[in-house]
Copies of this chain bind each other. A is one copy, B any other.
């Protein structure tokens, strides 16, 4: 594993956020001033392919990168806020209908976040 790949993996695993490639790039640049975006993108792709991180494709927003540890996502329909949530593992349930062979699944739950629920005129 390359130098940057390691650093990027560490960044993602330690972060509580769901960072975009841009954010990762900026973060990494703090300690590695010479790094460029293309390198970050390339490493992110490599890490995804090796199954070490998870890519999160969202609407109207650049991809985000996440730890591999199984968990689901909660997304506010109003402001787009993204948070983690851990529902029970559905793999068994799904395999019941599909047979063996499920690798993984991606569950996004849309709701109205507390902040947006309070306000009459929420963010956005």
- Chain A positions near chain B (C-beta within 8 angstroms): 55, 57-59, 63, 74, 77, 85, 87-88, 90, 93-94, 97-98, 101-112, 117
Contacts and interface: CB of A to CB of B under 8 A. Distances in A.
B94 A103 contact: no
A98 B88 CA distance: 12
Given A59-B63, A87-B93, A105 B110 contact: yes
Count of chain copies: 2
A88 B93 CA distance: 9
Which of A63, A93, A94 has the most chain B CB within a 10 Å cutoff? A94
Which of A94, A106, A109 has the most chain B CB within a 10 Å cutoff? A109
A98 B109 contact: yes
